[in-house]
Structure 1
Amino acid sequence: MMNKTQVRNSLLLLLTATIWGVAFVAQSVGMDYVGPFTFNMVRSLIGGIVLIPCIFLLGRLNSPEKYMQKEKAKVGILNDRASKADERKTLLKGGICCGILFSLATNIQQIGIQYTTVGRAGFITACYIVIVPILGMVFFHKKSRALIWGAVALALVGLYLLCMTDDFGIGKGDILVLICSVLFSLHILVIDHFSPKVDGVKMACIQFLVCAVFSAVPAFLTETIRISGLLAAWAPILYAGVLSCGVAYTLQIIGQKNMNPTVASLILSLESCISVLAGWVILGQKLTAREILGCVLMFGAIVLAQMPEKRRGN
Structure 2
Amino acid sequence: MLSNRLGTVLVTALAPMIWGTTYFVTTQLLPPGRPLLAGVLRALPAGILLVALTRRLPQGSWWWRALVLGALNIGVFFALLFVAAYRLPGGVAATLGSLQPLVVMGLSAAWLGERMSLRKVGAAAAGVVGVALLVLRANARLDAIGLAAALGGTIVMGTGVVLSKRWTSPAPLLATTGWQLIAGGLLLLPVALLVEGLPSTALSTANVAGYVYLSTVGAALAYALWFRGIRALSPTQVTFLGLLSPTVATAVGWLALGQSLTAAQVLGGVIVLASLVAAQLRQRKRDEVVARRPVEEDASPRRDEHELLSAP
- TM-score range, shorter-chain basis? 0.7 to 0.9
CA distance in 2, matches of 1:163, 1:33: 21
| Structure 2 counterpart of 1:211 | 184
The residue correspondences of 1:1-314 to structure 2 (distance < 5 A) are: 3-29=2-28, 32-33=31-32, 35-55=34-54, 88-101=59-72, 102-167=74-139, 169-171=141-143, 172-195=145-168, 197-226=170-199, 228=201, 230-231=203-204, 233-309=207-283
- Which sections of structure 1, spanning at least 5 residues, go unmatched? 60-84
Q: Is the 8 A contact 2:30 2:210 kept in 1?
A: no
Q: Is the 8 A contact 1:46 1:238 kept in 2?
A: no
Q: Is the 8 A contact 2:16 2:245 kept in 1?
A: yes
CA distance in 2, matches of 1:185, 1:170: 23
Q: CA deviation at 1:248?
A: 0.4
CA distance in 1, matches of 2:109, 2:270: 28
CA distance in 2, matches of 1:95, 1:6: 27
Compare CA radii of gyration and give the structure with the larger one.
1
Q: TM-score, normalised by structure 1?
A: 0.81
CA distance in 2, matches of 1:133, 1:189: 9
CA distance in 2, matches of 1:205, 1:310: 33
Identity %: 20
More helix by share: 1
Q: Check 1:105–1:89 CA distance in 2 against 1; reply closer, same or farther (3 A cut).
A: same
CA distance in 2, matches of 1:116, 1:7: 37
CA distance in 2, matches of 1:201, 1:276: 30
Q: Quick one: which amino acid aligns to residue 240 of structure 2? A: L
CA distance in 2, matches of 1:52, 1:267: 27
SS of 1:286's equivalent? coil
CA distance in 2, matches of 1:211, 1:239: 18
| Structure 2 counterpart of 1:82 | none
CA distance in 2, matches of 1:162, 1:275: 10
Post-superposition Cα deviations, 1:152-203, rounded to whole Å, max 9, x if no partner, equal 1221221121121224553132321121111111111122223475422111
Q: CA deviation at 1:226?
A: 2.3
Q: TM-score, normalised by structure 2?
A: 0.81
- Which sections of structure 2, spanning at least 5 residues, go unmatched? 286-312
Q: CA deviation at 1:146?
A: 2.9
CA distance in 2, matches of 1:11, 1:227: 41
Q: CA deviation at 1:99?
A: 0.9
SS of 2:161's equivalent? helix
Q: Quick one: which amino acid aligns to residue 182 of structure 1? A: I
Q: Check 1:148–1:196 CA distance in 2 against 1; reply closer, same or farther (3 A cut).
A: farther
Q: Quick one: which amino acid aligns to residue 247 of structure 2? A: C
Q: CA deviation at 1:139?
A: 4.3
Alignment: residue pair count = 282
Q: Check 1:309–1:44 CA distance in 2 against 1; reply closer, same or farther (3 A cut).
A: closer
CA distance in 2, matches of 1:53, 1:249: 16
Q: Check 1:28–1:186 CA distance in 2 against 1; reply closer, same or farther (3 A cut).
A: farther
Q: Provide the aligned C-alpha RMSD in A.
A: 2.5
More off after superposition, 187-196 vs 14-23: 187-196
SS of 1:186's equivalent? helix
Q: Quick one: which amino acid aligns to residue 269 of structure 1? A: L
Q: Check 1:201–1:310 CA distance in 2 against 1; reply closer, same or farther (3 A cut).
A: closer
Q: Is the 8 A contact 2:42 2:219 kept in 1?
A: yes
